[in-house]
Amino acid sequence: MARPVVNEVQCKSAINRVHGMPFKWSLNPYRGCTHGCHYCYARATHAFLNLDADDGFTSVLFAKVNLAEVLRRELSAASWKRESVSIGTATDPYQPIEGRYRLTRAALEAFVDFRSPASVITKSTMIVRDIDLLLGLRRVASATVCLSIPTVDEAIWRATEPGTPSPAQRLRAVERLAAAGINAGVAMAPLLPGLSAGEAQVAATVQAAKDHGARFLWSGLLHLDPGIRDHYLGFLSERFPDLVDGYQKLYPGRSPLPLYAERVAERAARLRNEAGLDERSEPRAGAGETHQLALL
């Protein structure tokens, strides 16, 4: 893969208000992501920049170089109530350019200094670099880390998340974080119909999370918003063409048909409960099932 182009930009705000999600506030140091996950809903955001959701998303990145300065101003405001902020809700805060820009580390330093809680979601093992800050934040407020591990099937991982560390590496990161005393768990999301949402696949991922000391596990199904639908179906037609017709029936809109979504949610909850894992937040059930995907 060619080296991505990184545009250094100035942000007007660091913390963003979020609606319709389990969290109220988000922070994203970067736009675009070299992890290249084919299901990533954030691909659609590149359209706002007149860039495409395909190669443009992975090859043209944006680093908010004044993020720490703006964040500190926001955290020091009298109106800030020290509500938890979720870091990395759009693109990965520990993608490789974090090694150069260190914007996520600077953000964590600000949260520690202002005793304001935060959580992080990432697919990157780079997060273990910041164990010191996460422990510091845990002492003065609260800190939660969620490693996104949709599947432990290496063939599915290689096909769907081409730029990410392996599931085994991410599980070892969970183990290190949890052993250090950090509230670390697994996001088994998005589960992909026909690829990672089956009984055996889900059971394997849940068991691996338990075996590596995850404090919690939550899951959710793939959604196909308009900006990502064409890219994901194009990916399927190239790599898993036998699934395309079933997906088109299963996803008449952004969410899968209700019966299928309910069955997968029940499967994930049952296997999580059997493993004795807590769920940090309830995933949203999407919608349903078709005969073509009845065995998925």
Is 5-274 in CATH node 3.40.190.10? no
Predicted pLDDT of residue 19 = 81
Q: Give the 3-state secondary structure of residue 35.
A: coil
Predicted pLDDT of residue 288 = 28
Q: How buried is 176 (Cβ within 10 angstroms: 0-12 exposed, 13-18 middle, 19+ buried)?
A: middle
Shortest CA distance to 143 belongs to which of 171, 109, 170, 172? 109
Predicted pLDDT of residue 48 = 56
Predicted pLDDT of residue 53 = 58
Q: Give the 3-state secondary structure of residue 276.
A: coil
Predicted pLDDT of residue 2 = 64
The conformation of residue 13, written as its DSSP 8-state character, comes to -
The model's pLDDT over 220-246, given as tens digits with 9 standing for 90+, comes to 999 999 889 999 999 999 999 999 999
Say how many C-beta atoms besides its own lie within 10 A of residue 132's C-beta. Answer: 12
Structure token digits, residue 237: 């037609």
Token pair 């290249």 is found at: 36
Over its length of 296 residues, how does the chain's per-residue pLDDT go in tens digits?
568 999 999 999 999 998 877 789 999 999 999 999 999 988 867 555 656 556 778 889 999 999 999 999 999 999 999 999 999 998 999 999 999 999 999 999 999 999 999 999 999 999 999 999 999 999 999 999 999 999 999 999 999 999 999 999 999 999 999 999 999 999 999 999 999 999 999 999 999 999 999 999 999 999 999 889 999 999 999 999 999 999 999 999 999 999 999 999 999 999 999 999 999 743 333 322 233 333 34
Judge whether 30 and 90 are in contact, CB under 8 Å.
no
DSSP letter string, 173-223 = HHHHHHHTT-EEEEEEEEE-TTTT-SHHHHHHHHHHHHHTT-SBEEEEE--
Q: Please report, for the chain, the start and end positions of each structural domain, with discontinuous segments joined by +.
A: 5-274
Predicted pLDDT of residue 47 = 57
The pTM of this model reads 0.91
What pairs with residue 121 in β-bridges? 146
Measured CA to CA, the distance from residue 177 to residue 18 in angstroms comes to: 27
Measured CA to CA, the distance from residue 127 to residue 99 in angstroms comes to: 10
